[in-house]
Amino acid sequence: MKILVTGGAGFIASNVVDAYVEAGHEVAVVDNLSTGKKENLNPKAKFYSVDLRDARLAEAVAEFSPEIINHHAAQIDVRKSVADPVFNASVNELGTLNLLETAVKCKVRKIIFSSTGGAIYGEVSKKSGADENHAQEPISPYAITKRAVEMYLYAYWKLYGLNFTCLRYGNVYGPRQDPLGEAGVIAIFCGKMLKGETPTIYGDGKQLRDYVYVGDVARANLIALDKGENRTFNVGTGKGVSVNELFMHLKEIMGFAKEAVYAPPRTGELFRSVLNCKKARQELGWKAGTGIKKGLKLTMKWYRSL
């Protein structure tokens, strides 16, 4: 199968590209390398250095002629989306619309879209976690654009027959996540602890997130090639892990002697964000297979190898 992956030099998408290549598919990557890294590119994948908003995107898609487009390219910095919502929308909405228009013209069969679980649902009080029908309360421009793209995908399916699968990720972590900039707490902690620096925990550290290992996410993208037509799925573990627990696990794995420093909570931060992934189990036959301790060990092993 011919698959084009946007953002394929980034953290999550590069792992997805590797899974596709390993499964024997022909893969091309579109990435402007604004945040993606050349070293993340799979040498067996064709590479197009193109921005989503560029007219040259149509040339790249037409030349490669993919059956499926896996769309990960995005402006992912939540704080940047708040500071510059116009730029955020230009990349995440207008860039995606350029991609969708191109997909229709090039007769692409399906789009697999990387959406967001926690940011779309907002605060989750249900013990079973937020399922796909949970109330959606996006408060950041980043989350709003992700939700908007989901709606565009539905419209393009109805209008043009362009199939889609939306995957709403939990907090993804693992190899290749940059410990700098808008990184997840796990990457930040790993980066600091390897340098012997003391990590900072904002608030009381009891806030819960659904941390899902990137290898499990890549597997969900592999399954979505053939399943989940015109459906939306949560991709997480269904279990909440606190920041305090993360730190204790990493401390044990590394033999780290120092204690974390606590700072005032960040404004607008969610307290509980946990996904219900029953639908993915039932319809895709997918569930997260990597527990938090194993995932952290694999992640730390990768950071130590740098």
Nearest of 155, 252, 260 to residue 197 by alpha carbon: 260
CATH, residue 266: 3.90.25.10
Same domain, 58 and 205: no
Those residues whose C-beta lies under 8 Å from the C-beta of residue 80, and which sit 6 or more positions away, are: 87, 88, 182
Same domain, 93 and 184: no
For residue 282, what are the domain limits?
174-209+239-304
The total number of residues shown for the chain amounts to 306
Q: What is the pLDDT of residues 93-140, one digit of tens each?
A: 999 999 999 999 999 999 999 999 978 998 888 889 999 999 998 888
Nearest of 123, 303, 129 to residue 212 by alpha carbon: 129
Same domain, 223 and 76: yes
Same domain, 123 and 149: yes
Report the alpha-carbon distance of residue 304 to residue 306 in Å, rounded.
Answer: 6
- The 8-class DSSP code of residue 190 comes to H
pLDDT value of residue 182: 53
CB 157 within 8 A of CB 113: no
Same domain, 28 and 44: yes
CB 30 within 8 A of CB 92: no
Same domain, 12 and 72: yes
Token duo for residue 263: 């700072």
Same domain, 26 and 142: yes
Same domain, 86 and 222: yes
* Bridge partners, residue 167, by sequence: 114, 233
Please give the model's pTM, rounded to 2 decimal places: 0.96
Those residues whose C-beta lies under 8 Å from the C-beta of residue 279, and which sit 6 or more positions away, are: 131, 132, 231, 233, 234
Same domain, 229 and 281: no
Phi first, then psi, for residue 263 (nearest 5°) are -130, 165
CB 132 within 8 A of CB 183: no
Same domain, 289 and 143: no
- Chain centroid to Cα 15, Å, comes to 11
CB 16 within 8 A of CB 165: no
pLDDT value of residue 180: 67
What average pLDDT does the chain have? 95
pLDDT value of residue 183: 62
Could you list the active site residues? Answer: 142
Q: What is the pLDDT of residues 28-43, one digit of tens each?
A: 999 999 999 999 999 9
Q: What angle do CA 54, 57, 58 make, to 5 degrees?
A: 120
Which residue is it, tokens 């362009």? 162
Report the alpha-carbon distance of residue 233 to residue 242 in Å, rounded.
Answer: 23
Local confidence pLDDT in tens for the 306 residues of the chain: 999 999 999 999 999 999 999 999 999 999 999 999 999 999 999 999 999 999 999 999 999 999 999 999 999 888 899 999 999 999 999 999 999 999 999 999 999 999 999 789 988 888 899 999 999 988 889 999 999 999 999 999 999 999 999 999 999 999 999 876 556 899 999 999 999 999 999 999 999 999 999 999 999 999 999 999 999 999 999 999 999 999 999 999 999 999 999 999 987 778 899 999 999 999 999 999 999 999 999 999 999 998
CATH, residue 50: 3.40.50.720
Q: How many domains are contained in the chain?
A: 2
